[in-house]
Amino acid sequence: MWADEMADTNTRTALFVIDIQGELANDPATQIPYADRVVQAGTKILQSARRAIADASATIDDKTPSIIVFVQHEETDGGLVRGSEAWKLVFPPQSGVDTEILVPKTTRDTFESNPDLAQRLRDLNIGRIAAFGIQSECCVLSTCRGALAAGFDVTLLSGAHSTYDTDDKTAVEVERDVEAELHANGAHIVPWEDVARTWERI
C-alpha cells in the first residue's frame, strides 16, 4: 500500500521527526508511557531513511525521503527551555549533512511557527510528508494538520507516535483517535514497519 501511494506523484518526500526530546522520551519522571516504543521505532525508521537517501543520491527516487526534518519544541518557561536537558533531541540531525535540517518551533503546529517552511519545502520539490513523534494529539496532530492545510500529501507512521494517558483514555486510544481524525481529513495512516521496509528495498 505504501509503495502504491508513493507512486502517485513525482514529488519528493520529507520525513518529519517531531519533538522526540528528553523530557518526553528520556526522563523517567516525565516521559510518555510508550516512549521506548517510539524511540525504538524512530531508530529503525531513521536507519532506513538515511540509508535510502544515501543509496538514492545518484539516481533520484521519489519513493525515498529527500530530506529529514527534525522538529524541536522550545518554551520560555516550562520543561522544554532552550539549552536544557529536557529540550535536547533524542535524534539530532547529523552535523554537516545537508539532507537533514533542524526546525525549531514554539507552537504545536510546525508550519504555524515557521511561516516560510511550506515554501522552503516546495522549493525542494517536496510534496509529501511522512511524520512520527510525540505527542500524538498535540504537536504531531497539529503539524500534520498544518501540512495538509498547506497542500502536502501526509502520511502518519502508525506505531511510531504516542502521548500520555488522559483521565478517560489510554495513550493507545488517543493514538487511534488521532489516526482516525487525520485519515478522515485525507492523511494516510501506514504502519511504520511498512514504510521502513519500503525504503530498505530501494
CATH number of the domain to which 56 belongs:
3.40.50.850
The per-residue pLDDT for 78 is: 79
Mean pLDDT score across all residues of the chain: 91
Give the model's pLDDT for residue 50.
94
pLDDT over 70 percentage in the chain: 91
The predicted structure's pLDDT at residue 14: 96
CA distances to 74, 75, 119, 141, 147 from 106, rounded to whole Å, are 6, 6, 19, 15, 16
pLDDT of residue 156: 98
CA distance 40 to 71: 18
Of 34-38, 63-67, 127-131, which range is least confident?
63-67
pLDDT tens for 65-114 read 889 999 999 998 878 999 899 999 999 999 999 999 999 999 999 999 99
Mean pLDDT of 113-141: 97
Q: Residue 51 belongs to what domain range?
A: 2-201
- Quick check: 150 and 16 in contact, CB under 8 A? no
State residue 11's pLDDT score.
85
Distance CA 136, CA 157 (A): 11
Sequence-distant contacts of 73-79: CB under 8 A, at least 24 apart: 73/19, 73/21, 73/104, 73/105, 73/106, 73/139, 74/104, 74/105, 74/106, 75/106, 79/23, 79/30
Residue 165 has pLDDT above 80, yes or no: yes
Q: Which of 40, 15, 161 is nearest to 101 (CA)?
A: 15
Number of domains into which the chain is organized: 1
Q: Is pLDDT of 9 > 50?
A: yes
Confidence class of residue 44 from pLDDT cuts 50, 70 and 90?
Answer: very high
CA distance 178 to 185: 11
